[in-house]
């Protein structure tokens, strides 16, 4: 391939700026993060919309990088086997393996002409335009570079980011940001014979605006499934308001249900989704999901569902109704409001708000699954990192916490409200509506190796029935660590606790009480460690560290027998005189990464501790009762060598009973498979001698040829009942998928769900 130097110089002087017609130009702020939306439908909802209005709106999941660079002064460079310029006609001609490029964009053709007077450029033969992974091919293209219009025949566009293919007999650019495609086909399936596609006689798209489809049809292979006389979609790179994915479902308790979500992109920092639902046996339910993102990592997510229930009064003679709860219900308006917010305030104050309020005790059990349930809405615990009460919990907690944390102290204000959903006639639940906590972190005292720490908190507690008043607690402590070489540390400490309570109002009897506790403790610790050479992936060494320790604790409470739990049950402070021997093990890894350098990670910990009660060994109050100085032996294990495996286990062994009194195991494991798929397993087992014995597990396993199966189970082993179970089978092809799910809940019966997935266009459920 050779250059014609004189022609190239002339081309550079004219600064030819060829632009491809078919490449959909997108512009965005490089610092922003684009949201995506899917083109949504189900067969039933489309038929309904067509019957009512002849068309509908949905959001199109086409996101992209900026298609053209903002440097408009960059020149196009041309190479060809032959490149000439006709000065009389002001016409440039390139022939043979033509390559026209400019900063990330390249146009290939066998022949290209450019008329300098008219500004019209034409390309012929095996036309191919590549930009940022997207590819446009065609037979012939004509472009007017002056008014940004043009036409491409037999065009095929591939959008890499979401695997979109758009094929058309003719595509015109009829304005600076508007395109018109005739006789086109859209799909996300690879190959010349896609499993599904959308065909249309005409599609018009306005970038950063909306597009319309006329005379469209959804096809499986080449067979038309349903007709789209008219449809409208969003062609914005940012979030776009519109109708989202319709859903449908069926449950044994509530019957058939249908849902149409409407998304509102309020601004760059907030959005809302409105859910309109019709439930066969219950009536009309509305839902709201509101989200916002502000500066300094401030975020919030709030959810509300409200139902005007056809069943206003609970039938207390119906066993299925009583299976939900033994409490009556007479409310027609039923709702559940919940949310999480983390908001940074002035003066480095962080506000954390948790909301959880439900209309009645049966709501969550009746609407756990299907369209309205906790499973199909955002996981607030995963979003905020703060737990949410279980659906069977007798209390729902809402709270506001204001905190200011510094290097040397922590100051927090807290207000909490605990709801009893069954709405008892005499509610004695204590409500700590106002509280303050201050913690002075350990600091050196007068420059000496003596460390002082101080904790204090205050609560104002009210309730509908029962005593209310004030509670104040403070606890100073002093630590004096001593080091004997590199292998022995002895740390004695002294701590004092004082708790005071005042009753409010003219309560007969004693209105004030206090309790004092004195504690002395001494701990001796040594550290043994060794580094082992190790080679696995990027890991170069492992370090095993052992920390044996011996702790002596002596605690003496005063006036314990006079102290009463006025506001809430509290642990009775008894005299403590014991020794605890423990061994802690740590396994750390060192790895070398070319980009991040040397990394240290903790793969696992294992600890075991054995307390011995000197007080119990010296007890002589009842000679007939055998002394049991050895308290339960406790062990704890955490193993997390890589992100796909996490194991945590704990147990306690009671010497007197010669049995395990408490135990818990939690295992999460993932196995990466080809095509971005993943096998997942999670098991959680809990046991305690007071009657708790439960098993929770779920797994999802990919089989062969795109098939996968899964199962989830929550079982009360002590009662021998299955609280909830789910099973599903799934098939995923390259551009589509289907999942069939059966969900069974002890209280609300069985529900069925079928989900269809189209790559790039979202998911439809029924």
**pLDDT, mean of residues 40-51:** 29
Question: Do residues 666 and 692 make contact, with C-beta atoms less than 8 angstroms apart?
Answer: no
pLDDT of residue 18: 32
DSSP structural state of residue 573: P
Helices within 317-389 (DSSP H only): 319-324, 363-366, 380-384
- Helix (H, G, I), strand (E, B), or coil: what is residue 335? strand
- Helix (H, G, I), strand (E, B), or coil: what is residue 614? helix
pLDDT of residue 351: 96
Angstrom distances, CA of residue 513 to CA of 302, 469, 556, 563, 565: 42, 12, 18, 6, 10
Residue 319 counted as domain residue: no
Kindly tell me if the per-residue pLDDT of 71 is higher than 70: no
Q: Categorize the per-residue pLDDT at 423 as very low, low, confident or very high, splitting at 50, 70 and 90.
A: confident
Choose the weakest-confidence range: 167-171, 497-501, 519-523, 711-715.
167-171
For every residue of 257-323, DSSP letters joined together read EEEEEEEE--SSSEEEEEEEEEETTTEEEEEEEEEEE-STT-EEEEEEEEEEES--S--TT-HHHHH
Q: With CA atoms as reference, report the closest residue to 24 among 81, 70, 52, 66.
A: 66
Residue 536 counted as domain residue: yes
Top mean-pLDDT range of 214-228, 309-323, 539-553: 539-553
pLDDT of residue 451: 93
Domain finish residue from 616, 636, 651: 616
Residue 21 counted as domain residue: yes
**pLDDT, mean of residues 420-429:** 89
Residue 728 counted as domain residue: no
Q: Which residue did the predictor score with more confidence, 533 or 251?
A: 533
Question: Do residues 151 and 173 make contact, with C-beta atoms less than 8 angstroms apart?
Answer: yes
pLDDT of residue 10: 37
Interatomic CA distance for residues 234 and 175, integer angstroms = 18
pLDDT of residue 64: 31
Range of the domain at 232: 5-27+36-243
Residue 42 counted as domain residue: yes
**pLDDT, mean of residues 410-426:** 93
Q: What is the pLDDT of residues 712-740, one digit of tens each?
A: 998 989 888 888 888 999 999 988 888 88
Interatomic CA distance for residues 378 and 496, integer angstroms = 45
Question: Do residues 475 and 454 make contact, with C-beta atoms less than 8 angstroms apart?
Answer: yes
Q: What is the pLDDT of residues 198-253, one digit of tens each?
A: 889 988 877 556 668 888 888 998 898 888 787 766 555 556 677 776 777 777 77
pLDDT of residue 572: 56
Q: How many CB atoms lie within 10 A of CB 417?
A: 17
The helix or strand, by DSSP H or E, that contains position 615, with its residue range, turns out to be: helix 614-617
Residue 400 counted as domain residue: no
Task: Find where tokens 């009389």 sit.
Answer: 88
| 3-state per-residue secondary structure call for 388-432 | CCCCCCCCEEEEEEEEEECCCEEEEEEEEEEECCCCCCCCCCCEE
- Helix, strand, coil distribution of the chain in percent, nearest 5: 5, 60, 35
- CATH number, domain at 81? 2.60.450.10
CA 209 remoteness from chain centre:
30
Kindly tell me if the per-residue pLDDT of 96 is higher than 70: yes
What domain count does the chain have? 2
Write out the two tokens for 527.
Answer: 């550290």
Q: Which residue did the predictor score with more confidence, 34 or 581?
A: 581
Per the DSSP assignment, residues forming a β-bridge with 70 are: none
pLDDT of residue 7: 35
Choose the weakest-confidence range: 276-290, 295-309, 645-659, 743-757.
743-757
Residue 69 counted as domain residue: yes
For every residue of 165-219, DSSP letters joined together read EEEEEEEEE-SSSEEEEEEEEEE---SSS-SEEEEEEEEEEETTSEEEEEEEEEE
Q: Categorize the per-residue pLDDT at 547 as very low, low, confident or very high, splitting at 50, 70 and 90.
A: very high
Domain finish residue from 585, 616, 647: 616
Domain finish residue from 584, 616, 648: 616
Rg of the chain over all Cα atoms, to the nearest angstrom: 35
Question: Do residues 392 and 417 make contact, with C-beta atoms less than 8 angstroms apart?
Answer: no
CA 207 remoteness from chain centre:
31
Residue 56 counted as domain residue: yes
Q: What is the pLDDT of residues 643-702, one digit of tens each?
A: 899 999 999 999 998 999 999 999 999 999 887 789 999 999 999 988 789 999 999 999
pLDDT of residue 354: 96
Work out the mean pLDDT of the chain and round it to a whole number: 81
Q: How many CB atoms lie within 10 A of CB 222?
A: 9
Per the DSSP assignment, residues forming a β-bridge with 729 are: 709, 740
Please enumerate in sequence order all residues whose Cβ is within 8 A of that of 177, keeping only pairs 6 or more positions apart, or say none: 25, 206, 207, 208, 209
Give the CA dihedral 573, 578, 579, 581, nearest 10 degrees.
-50
Q: What is the pLDDT of residues 118-154, one digit of tens each?
A: 878 888 988 888 877 778 788 888 877 667 677 888 8
Q: Which residue did the predictor score with more confidence, 569 or 744?
A: 744
**pLDDT, mean of residues 375-384:** 71
């Amino acid at each position: 391939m050779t250059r014609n130097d004189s022609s190239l110089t002339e081309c550079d002087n004219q600064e030819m700026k060829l632009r491809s017609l078919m490449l959909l130009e997108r512009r965005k702020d490089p610092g922003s993060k684009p949201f995506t939306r899917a083109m949504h439908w189900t067969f039933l909802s489309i038929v309904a919309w067509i019957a009512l209005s002849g068309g509908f709106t949905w959001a199109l999941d086409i996101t992209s990088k900026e298609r053209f660079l903002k440097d408009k002064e960059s020149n196009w460079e041309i190479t060809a086997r032959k490149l000439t310029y006709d000065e009389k006609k002001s016409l440039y001609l390139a022939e043979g393996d033509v390559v026209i490029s400019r900063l990330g964009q390249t146009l290939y053709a066998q022949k290209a002409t450019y008329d300098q007077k008219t500004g019209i450029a034409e390309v012929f033969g095996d036309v191919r335009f590549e930009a940022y992974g997207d590819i446009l091919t065609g037979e012939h293209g004509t472009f007017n570079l002056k008014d940004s219009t043009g036409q491409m025949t037999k065009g095929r566009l591939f959008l890499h980011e979401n695997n979109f293919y758009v094929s058309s007999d003719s595509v015109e650019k009829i304005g600076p940001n508007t395109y018109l495609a005739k006789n086109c086909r859209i799909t996300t399936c690879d190959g010349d014979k896609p499993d599904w596609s959308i065909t249309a006689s005409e599609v018009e798209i306005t970038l950063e605006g909306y597009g319309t489809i006329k005379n469209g049809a959804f096809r499986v292979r080449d067979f038309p499934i349903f007709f789209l006389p008219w449809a409208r979609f969003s062609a914005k790179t940012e979030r776009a308001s519109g109708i989202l994915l319709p859903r449908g479902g069926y449950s044994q308790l509530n019957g058939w249900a249908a849902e149409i979500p409407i998304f509102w992109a309020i601004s760059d920092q907030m959005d809302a989704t409105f859910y309109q639902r019709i439930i066969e046996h219950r009536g009309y339910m509305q839902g709201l999901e509101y989200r916002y993102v502000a500066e300094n990592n401030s975020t919030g997510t709030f959810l509300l569902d409200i139902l005007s229930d056809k069943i206003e009064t609970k039938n207390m003679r119906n066993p299925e109704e009583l299976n939900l709860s033994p409490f009556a219900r007479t409310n027609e308006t039923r709702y559940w409001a919940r949310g999480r917010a983390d908001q940074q305030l002035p003066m480095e104050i962080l506000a954390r708000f948790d909301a959880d309020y439900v209309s009645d005790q049966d709501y969550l059990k009746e609407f756990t699954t299907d369209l309205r349930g906790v499973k199909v809405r955002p996981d607030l615990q995963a979003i905020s990192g703060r737990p949410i009460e279980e659906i069977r919990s007798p209390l729902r907690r809402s709270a506001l916490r204001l905190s200011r944390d510094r290097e040397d102290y922590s100051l927090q204000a807290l207000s909490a409200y605990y709801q009893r959903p069954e709405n008892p006639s005499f509610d004695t639940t204590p409500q700590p509506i106002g509280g303050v906590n201050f913690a002075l972190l350990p600091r050196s005292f007068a420059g000496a190796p003596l460390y002082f720490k101080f904790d204090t908190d205050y609560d104002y507690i009210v309730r509908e029935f029962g005593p209310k008043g004030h509670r104040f607690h403070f606890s100073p402590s002093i630590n004096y660590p001593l080091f004997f070489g590199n292998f022995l540390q002895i740390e004695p400490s002294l701590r004092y606790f004082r708790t005071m309570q005042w009753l409010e109002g003219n309560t007969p009897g004693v209105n004030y009480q206090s309790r004092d506790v004195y504690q002395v403790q001494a701990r001796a610790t040594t550290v043994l460690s060794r580094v082992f050479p190790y080679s696995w992936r990027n890991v170069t060494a492992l370090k095993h560290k052992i920390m044996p320790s011996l702790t002596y604790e002596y605690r003496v409470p005063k006036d314990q027998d006079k102290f009463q739990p006025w506001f809430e049950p509290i642990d009775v402070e008894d005299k403590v005189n014991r020794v605890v021997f423990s061994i802690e093990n740590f396994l750390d890894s060192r790895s070398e990464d070319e980009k991040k350098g040397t990394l240290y990670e903790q793969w696992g910990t294992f600890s075991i501790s054995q307390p011995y009660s000197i007080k119990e060994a010296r007890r002589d109050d009842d000679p007939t009762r055998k002394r049991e100085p050895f308290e339960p032996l406790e062990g704890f294990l955490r193993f997390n060598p890589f992100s796909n495996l996490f194991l945590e286990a704990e147990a306690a062994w009671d010497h007197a009973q010669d049995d395990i009194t408490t135990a818990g195991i939690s295992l999460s494991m993932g196995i990466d498979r080809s095509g971005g798929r993943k096998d997942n397993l999670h098991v959680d087992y809990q046991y305690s001698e007071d009657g708790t014995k439960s098993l929770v597990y779920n797994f999802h396993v990919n089989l062969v040829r795109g098939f996968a199966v899964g199962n989830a189970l929550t079982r009360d082993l002590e009662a021998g009942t299955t609280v909830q179970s789910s099973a599903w089978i799934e098939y995923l092809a390259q551009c589509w998928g289907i999942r069939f799910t059966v969900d069974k809940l002890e209280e609300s019966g069985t529900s069925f769900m079928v989900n269809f997935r189209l790559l790039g266009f979202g998911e439809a459920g029924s």
